[in-house]
Structure 1
Amino acid sequence: MTEGKRNIIAQLINEYDIQSAEDIQEALKDLLGGTIQEMLQAEMTEHLGYEEYQRSDNSNSRNGKKSKIIHSKYGETLIDVPQDREGSFEPRVVKKHQKDISAIDDKIISMYAKGMTTRQISEQIEDIYGFEVSEGLVSDITDKLLPQIEEWQQRPLSDVYPVIFVDAIHFSVRDNGIIRKKAAYIILGINNEGKKEVLSIEIGENESSKYWLGIFNNLKNRGVKDILILCADGLSGMKDAVTVAFPKTEYQRCIVHQVRNTLRYIPDKDKKLFANDLKSIYQAPSEKIALQNLDKVTETWEKIYPNSMKSWNKNWDVISPIFKFSMEVRKVIYTTNAIESLNSVYRRLNSQRSVFPSDTALLKALYLATFEATKKWTSTLRNWGKIYGELQIMFEDRF
Structure 2
Amino acid sequence: MTQINEIIGLKISQAESKKNWSDFFDYLISRGLKSPRIVISDAHQGLRAAIEEKFVGSTWQRCTVHFIKNIIDAMPKKDSEDARNLAKSIFRSPNSKIARELKEEFIKTYEDNGKYQKAIERLDDGFEDAIQFFAEPENAHKHIKTTNVLERINSEIRRRERVIRIFPNQQSAFRLIGSVLMDYEETLDQGIRKYIHF
Taking structure 2 as the reference length, the TM-score comes to 0.83
**Take 2:159 and 2:192, find their aligned partners in 1: how far apart are those partners?**
25
Q: Residue 200 of structure 1: SS of its match in structure 2?
A: coil
More helix by share: 2
**Take 1:268 and 1:358, find their aligned partners in 2: how far apart are those partners?**
42
Q: What is the match of residue 127 of structure 2?
A: 316
1:344 aligns with 2:155: yes
For residues 155-209 of structure 1, the C-alpha deviation after alignment (integer angstroms, 9 at most, x for no partner) is xxxxxxx7xxxxxxxxxxxxxxxxxxxxxxxxxxxxx4x4322112222234343
Q: What is the match of residue 248 of structure 1?
A: 57
Aligned 1:200-279 pairs, distance under 5 A: 200-270=9-79, 272-279=81-88
1:362 aligns with 2:164: no
For residues 346-389 of structure 1, the C-alpha deviation after alignment (integer angstroms, 9 at most, x for no partner) is 121243133323333222211111122222113559764xx42x
CA separation of 1:202/1:235 partners in 2, compared to 1, >3 Å: closer, same or farther? farther
AA aligned to 1:223 is G
**Take 1:380 and 1:268, find their aligned partners in 2: how far apart are those partners?**
45
CA separation of 1:272/1:346 partners in 2, compared to 1, >3 Å: closer, same or farther? farther
**Take 1:362 and 1:262, find their aligned partners in 2: how far apart are those partners?**
34
Whether the 8 Å CA contact 2:61–2:132 is kept in 1: the answer is yes
AA aligned to 1:299 is K
Aligned 1:1-399 pairs, distance under 5 A: 192=2, 194-270=3-79, 272-302=81-111, 303=113, 304-378=115-189, 384=195, 387-388=196-197, 391=198
Unaligned ranges ≥5, structure 2: none
Q: Determine which structure has greater relative contact order: mean sequence separation of CA pairs < 8 Å that are 6+ residues apart, divided by chain length.
A: 2
Rg larger for = 1
**Take 2:128 and 2:18, find their aligned partners in 1: how far apart are those partners?**
18
Taking structure 1 as the reference length, the TM-score comes to 0.44
**Take 1:279 and 1:380, find their aligned partners in 2: how far apart are those partners?**
33
Unaligned ranges ≥5, structure 1: 1-161, 163-191, 392-399
Whether the 8 Å CA contact 2:76–2:116 is kept in 1: the answer is no
CA separation of 1:364/1:255 partners in 2, compared to 1, >3 Å: closer, same or farther? same
Percent of pairs with identical residues: 26
Whether the 8 Å CA contact 1:345–1:373 is kept in 2: the answer is no
**Take 1:205 and 1:236, find their aligned partners in 2: how far apart are those partners?**
16
CA separation of 1:380/1:279 partners in 2, compared to 1, >3 Å: closer, same or farther? farther
